[in-house]
Each structure stands twice: as C-alpha cells, then as structure tokens.
C-alpha cells in the first residue's frame, strides 16, 4: 500500500514541478526555483528555454504516471511489483527529461555566460 501512496504523491509532485517550471520560465533566473544548472542560468534565453522544455516534459511524465498508478490500482490492486515498476519509471523518466533538456541547451546554445564551451 505504501508504494501506491508514494506513486500518487510523486506523480502529483512531478506535475506540480512541471507547472512551476513552466510558470517561472517567464521570470528572471534565480537560485530559488526552476531548472537550475550552470548552462540554464547563463542567460534569460537559456533560462526560459530550459524551464519550458523540462517543465512540459515533467507535466506529461507526472500525468502519465498518475494515470498508470490509478489504472494499476484498479486493474490489479495487489500487484505491488507493477506499482514498483511505475515508481522506477517515474525516477527514470524525470532523470531522462533533465538530461535531455541539458543536451538541448548544449546543442542550441553551446556556451555559458563567459562564452566558454561547456
């Protein structure tokens, strides 16, 4: 039962994180909230791009994982291995979204604030 609660909370947290990143994509880069890497904070343009890109991915990932969690709960309420697999998918998908966003930043912008290759 605990893994189901963790899946629901983590799914909703990922959705919330995505919404926050998208919302703060329009604000200036700061150290309190958002996609905070050296590359993403090198300019306003990279900040907005990173937060929109990763925020949208997290929004989709969280929504999909929430639906998968509820579907697994309805179809097979005692199949904790399925819920564990969904939790592993949560973690993997969020990590892939972060890595993909950083790769997109490198491809699109390629330099940091000091015009050094990262």
Mean pLDDT, the chain cut into blocks of 10 residues (118 residues total)? 90 94 76 82 87 94 94 87 92 95 91 53
Question: What pLDDT does 30 receive?
Answer: 65
Confidence at residue 80, expressed as pLDDT on a 0 to 100 scale: 85
Output DSSP code: residue 77.
T
pLDDT of residue 115: 52
pLDDT at 23: 85
Spans of all domains in the chain: 2-108
Residue 1 has a pLDDT of: 80
CA-closest candidate to residue 100, choices 65, 58, 62? 58
Q: What is the pLDDT of residue 25?
A: 74
Q: How far apart are CA 38 and CA 41, in angstroms?
A: 5
* Cα 30 to Cα 20: distance, rounded to the nearest angstrom: 13
CB 18 within 8 A of CB 59: yes
At residue 114, the pLDDT reads 52
**Rg for the chain, CA atoms, rounded:** 16
């Amino acid at each position: 039962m605990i893994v189901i609660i963790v899946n629901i909370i983590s799914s909703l947290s990922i959705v919330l994180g995505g919404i926050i990143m998208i919302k703060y994509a329009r604000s200036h880069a700061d150290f309190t909230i958002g996609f905070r890497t050296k590359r993403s904070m090198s300019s306003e343009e990279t900040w907005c791009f990173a937060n929109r890109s990763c925020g949208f991915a997290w929004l989709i990932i969280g929504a999909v994982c929430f639906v998968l969690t509820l579907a697994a709960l309805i179809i097979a309420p005692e199949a904790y291995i399925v819920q564990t697999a969904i939790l592993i998918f949560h973690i993997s998908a969020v990590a892939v979204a972060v890595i993909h966003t950083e790769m997109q930043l490198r491809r699109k912008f390629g330099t940091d604030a000091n015009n050094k290759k990262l």
